[in-house]
Amino acid sequence: MTAAIFEIKRFAVHDGDGIRTTVFFKGCPLRCVWCHNPEGLTAIPQTAHYSHKCIGCGECKKEGFTPEDCLGEATVLYGKEMTVEELLPILLEDRDFYETSGGGVTLSGGECLMQADFCAELLKKLKENEIHTAVDTCGFVSKESLDKVIPYTDVFLYDIKAYDEEVHIKCTEVSNRIILENLAYLDSLNKKIEVRIPYVPDYNDDQIEKIAHFLAPLQSITKIRVLPYHNYAGSKYKALDIVNTLPEKLPTDEEIKIAVETIKKLTNFVVLS
Ligand code: SF4
Ligand code: SF4
């Protein structure tokens, strides 16, 4: 069994507690207008070309060229088929850092649970090695997929992008009903959940109170993070030659502060940005 991986990020500090290694899986069922990982949208490997990095060496004109031969690192292949056996030793390399920082390994994407069998096998091996595990999910997955990884996942990093269904569809092209149901399901099993809310002006900024009301009665939330939208991914859209959907308007510090305070007032959770 293999999975298409587009990045393995070591020393990650924004993908759960402590120092972590994050594995990014290709393929996502959502199409968020603000997607910061467009190289993770499709499940198939893709070649991107960063023209500003090209040093004109001409290697890519030669027969048998592969992206690894690009001297300027201008041509990049996103998506490498890997087995659990190949990934595991890479993920165990930094176990000392995980132990001293309270970190571990995070599976992310794209949507890693589109490849739930692979994730379950990898997470199981990580737990056998006593590594803390996190699954970063958009929640738009079947209950069967969740059930496969639940026994080996210490914490879920769970994205909530909107409460109103029509707003969610406008922002992501899919309904959020299954996402909200799955969150309630994880909560009923007492799984640790860190909720993450991207804040995108003119798209979901009117959803904060409604999301807070929905989350307030849940029991298993460890913290809530409001993630200010940023548009750093613009160059990736260009390099992949896909339509750039990124909104122009960025949130102000004041807007984020108000969102955090609003959620704090309506829930008993720790709320961070
Ligand atoms: S869920 Fe994440 S990876 Fe998928 S489209 Fe949205 S931002 Fe991109
Ligand atoms: S191999 Fe890379 S750096 Fe060299 S010409 Fe081709 S794209 Fe540019």
| Predicted pLDDT at 37 | 96
| Predicted pLDDT at 201 | 98
Taking the C-alpha atoms of residue 83 and residue 90, their distance in angstroms, rounded to an integer, is 12
Using the mean position of ligand 2's atoms as its centre, give its distance from the Cα of residue 182 in Å: 45
> Which atom number of ligand 1 is nearest to the Cα of residue 31?
5
* pLDDT digits 0-9 by tens, 130-169: 999 999 999 999 999 999 999 999 999 999 999 999 999 9
31: region left, alpha or beta (phi > 0 left; psi from -120 to 50 alpha): beta
The residue to mutate among 35, 182, 230, having the most atoms of ligand 1 within 8 angstroms of its beta carbon, is 35
Mean pLDDT of the chain: 97
Task: Domain of residue 92: give its range.
Answer: 2-272
> Which atom number of ligand 2 is nearest to the Cα of residue 72?
3
Question: Is the backbone peptide bond immediately before 109 cis, with ω within 30 degrees of 0?
Answer: no
* pLDDT digits 0-9 by tens, 218-259: 999 999 999 999 999 999 999 999 999 999 999 999 999 999
The residue to mutate among 31, 39, 112, 138, having the most atoms of ligand 1 within 8 angstroms of its beta carbon, is 138
CATH number of the domain that residue 7 is part of: 3.20.20.70
| Predicted pLDDT at 254 | 98
Find the mean pLDDT for residues 44-51: 95
267 band by pLDDT with thresholds 50, 70 and 90: very high
Find the mean pLDDT for residues 179-193: 98
Residues within 6 Å of ligand 2 by CB: 54-60, 70-72, 74-75
79 band by pLDDT with thresholds 50, 70 and 90: very high
Q: How many domains is the chain built from?
A: 1
Any ligand 1 atom below 6 A from CB of 141: no
pTM for this predicted structure = 0.96
H or E segment to which residue 82 belongs: strand 80-83
For the record, the structure tokens of 107 come out as 């599976």
Contact 12, 129 (CB under 8 A): no
Say what percent of the chain tops pLDDT 70.
Answer: 100
